[in-house]
Chain A
Amino acid sequence: MSKPVAAIFLLAASLVHGADLQPLDEAGYQRLLASAKGRVLVVNFWATWCAPCRKEMPELVALASKYRARGLQFVTVAIDEESDAPKAAEFVTKTKVPQPAYIKRFQNDEKFISMVDPKWSGGLPFTVVYDRAGKKVRVFPGEVDIRELEQVILKAL
């Protein structure tokens, strides 16, 4: 494929997928973890089809905003198929989810789930907290208890 054709293809793809969501694969997740070292990182896995995920997102966004200046990085990964990417992007925009926000493009869902946490079965929502050294300090399967999450964040900060 020539460079101009490839550029047009990528531009078209980004328009179709929603410009607000970055595709994330297994290697990308590892790069994300590495780049976040020095900050406390909270990763929230959600999906447009997941009602409790959509419900808890505004509180998570508010918490992210509250502690951003103190060194908290909040990242979301949408577990949506390509066909739902525009809907996911719309939700991210509407809910003011911090950028960059991601959408799954894993090679293998099962391996990715185990890589994030061996005890995670794949149920959503799922939230992971990493400390400044990049060590996983807590996972929240299902909806988070926002006060509990705040305590974990404060301790890590």
Chain B
Amino acid sequence: MTTLAAFAAALVLLGAPGKVDVIKATSLDGKPVEIQTAGKITAVIFISTQCPISNDYNERMKALYNEFSGKGVQFVFLNSNSTESSADAAEHARKNGFPFTVLKDINNVEADRFAAEFTPHVFVIGRNSEVIYRGAIDDSRPADKVTKTYLKDVLNAALEGKPLPYTETKAFGCTIKRVKKST
């Protein structure tokens, strides 16, 4: 396979939702929000107020947001847990001094579409609206043991139009608590 072909193949992840033109969610004060992805690099991060793993990444998420939003990356932080209310998410964002907006994914619609499974689970959408990366922020829950900065490296490569160093990674995290749907 040529480098170009390998790069192209990596752009379309197996099991990923394919093209994501619009992300639909709800602001923490109850208003519908639509985020367009065309022409932008978008990082979608599923987070939790209660999950200790997600909370261990709060400072790292703030740092990533501060670094990359200035470079034109669009961030979407989604709370899909049915066990965590909008009020919980708002209080959590305030307590942790998040510089970014958190949105509520009511009925885990976006979590289902992305097949997001745990928190913090990350999806990067390229300028063509295709999901180009899904997985973890980095390779270690304790910040002082990180050896691979997956998300940072993917965002830098995407911004520079270079082949992605990672398209899918895995990490231990808290399962997203979905609403029970009748079959």
Contacts and interface: CB of A to CB of B under 8 A. Distances in A.
Interface of B is mostly: loop
Interface in A98-125: 109-110, 113-114, 120-125
Nearest to B83: A51
B141 A121 contact: no
A113 B141 contact: no
B64 interface: no
A59 interface: no
A81 B173 contact: no
A141 interface: yes
B74 interface: no
Contact of A109 (B170, B174, B175): B170
Contact of B175 (A81, A110, A113, A123): A123
Interface string B135-158: 110010110000000000000000
Given A49-B53, A113-B170, A114-B170, A125 B141 contact: no
Interface residues of A, number: 20
Interface in B75-95: none
B141 A123 contact: no
Given A81-B142, A141-B117, A122 B52 contact: no
Contacts, number: 57
Interface string B146-183: 00000000000000000000000111111111000000
Contacts of A79: 172
A60 to B, nearest CB: 16
B50 interface: yes
A110 B171 CA distance: 6
A146 interface: no
B65 interface: no
A142 B175 contact: yes
A50 interface: yes
Contact of B170 (A50, A51, A121, A142): A121
B133 interface: no
Contacts of B142: 81
The 4 A-B residue pairs with the shortest CB-CB distance, nearest first, are A123-B118, A49-B52, A123-B175, A121-B117
28 contacts: A49-B51, A49-B174, A50-B175, A51-B50, A109-B171, A110-B136, A110-B170, A113-B170, A113-B171, A120-B170, A121-B117, A121-B170, A121-B173, A122-B117, A122-B118, A122-B173, A123-B117, A123-B118, A123-B172, A123-B173, A123-B174, A124-B118, A124-B172, A124-B174, A124-B175, A125-B175, A141-B117, A143-B175
